Amino acid sequence: MKIRTGKKVDPVEVFEYKKHTIMGFSALEEESWVPDIARKMVLSHHERMNGSGFPMRQKIIGSWNAKLSRHVMLLIVIYREWNVKQQSR
């Protein structure tokens, strides 16, 4: 895996990084005020349409709402990365 900077990353770091979706989901699991769709969005926000994402490498098929929620989360992730890059200039 390469971070967007083009630098190679240690496989252990990649493994640790990829756990954040599961850890976030687990942290919200007991919170009754958090809707199920929000927990699922946290878990699947790095999944990709073609199944190349993580943590479950799922192809995004199914309901329109499921696809939309994953697209929204992907846009949030992209915007956050762009914003961090802009602030570091």
Within 10 Å of residue 68's Cβ, how many Cβ atoms?
Answer: 10
Tokens of 62: 């199914």
Statement: the pTM of the whole predicted model exceeds 0.85 = no
Please, what sign has the CA dihedral across residues 10, 11, 14, 19?
Answer: negative
Q: What is the chain's pLDDT, residue by residue, as a tens digit (89 residues)?
A: 545 566 777 888 888 888 888 898 889 888 888 888 778 878 887 777 777 888 777 776 666 556 667 677 777 777 777 777 778 77
Report the C-alpha dihedral over residues 14, 19, 21, 22, rounded to 10 degrees. Answer: 160
Please tell me the total number of residues recorded for the chain in this structure: 89
